[in-house]
Amino acid sequence: MREFRRKKWRTEKAERNAHTSWEVLGMRFQKGCIEINTIKDVPLLRQVLHCQLVTHEQLWRFMRLGLYEFQRSSFNWRLRRLVESGLLERRSKLPYTEHYVYSMANPGADVLISHGEWFPMSIEENGRKHRVSVAHALGLNDLQLSLIRARVLDTWKPEPMIRFENQYLANPHAKDYDAIVTVRIDDRESVFNLEYERTAKRYRDYADIRDLLEQVPSLDPVLYVVPNLELLRVLRHAFHRTSAPVHVCLAGDFTDSFMDMRVTDASSGVIRSVAAIL
C-alpha cells in the first residue's frame, strides 16, 4: 500500500490557480508545489477569510497575539509565499491605509475547506457577490484586535459566517450583524451583536431594523459602534423607546479600553458601563 505525506498545493503563477497534489514516499513533488503548514499557514489563511480584507500590519498583529508568529521576518516570508502561490491576493496600497491589503483567493479557500472550513468565501445576494467596504472591514479588524489585546475576547463570529447561517440554517439571526462577539469577563461569558456603523442609513432603513430586532424574544444586546457623537445622536433618535436592547458607543472608547467603556442605551438615553449591559 502506498504511503502518503502532507498535502501539497501546486500553483501556476500565470493562471494564479492551485490544485491539490500528494507526495508518494520515494517521489519528489512537482515544481511549483508548496507545503501547507497546518500550525501556521492555516490560521493565517483562516484569519484572512474571516476578516475578508486585512492590512499587512493587522494580520501581523492577529498572528502575533494569537501566538502563531513571533518573528516579523518569518511572518513576512510566510505571507509573501502564500501570495506568490496564489492562495492570497494582495491589493495595492489604498487611501485608507499605508499598508498592503490582503484578501482570500479561490485556491486559498479550497485549502481551508480541506482543513475543515465550512462556510464559503463569499455569499451571493440575488446572483451578485456581497460587496465589502475596505474602510469598514479594516475598522472591524481594529475592534477585534482591541478585544484580543484586552484579553476578554472568547469568540468572534464574522459577518460572512452570520450571512451564511441566515441563508441556510433553520433558526437564523435577526439580521446580518457585522459580528457576534463572545467575551469573558471575570469568568463570566457574555454575548453581544456588534454593528460597526461608519455612516448613517436612511431613517426608514433603521425603522426596518428596529422592527426586526423587536420581534426577537430574549435578544442578546446589540451594540452599535460609531465614529462620532453626531452618528450616536442619529441612532438615539432612530431607536428611541425601542423594546430591543440596543446600545451605542464610540469607536475610540471601544478600542482604547473596552472594559472602561461607557455605552448609551438607545431607548432611554441612559449611560451605563459596558459590564452593566452584558
pLDDT value at 105 more than 90: yes
Domains for the chain: give ranges and CATH numbers.
Answer: 1-121 (1.10.10.10), 123-278 (3.40.91)
pLDDT value at 3 more than 70: no
3-state helix, strand, coil in the chain (%, to 5): 35, 25, 35
pLDDT value at 54 more than 70: yes
Three cell numbers, residue 239: 431607536
Averaged pLDDT for residues 36-55: 94
Identify the pLDDT of residue 248. Answer: 98
Identify the pLDDT of residue 172. Answer: 82
Identify the pLDDT of residue 121. Answer: 59
Identify the pLDDT of residue 25. Answer: 30
Reported as a single tens digit per residue, the pLDDT across 121-161 is: 554 554 455 577 899 999 999 999 999 999 999 999 999 89
pLDDT value at 22 more than 90: no
**Which among 104, 154, 108, 130 has a CA at the least distance from the CA of 278?**
154
Identify the pLDDT of residue 130. Answer: 56
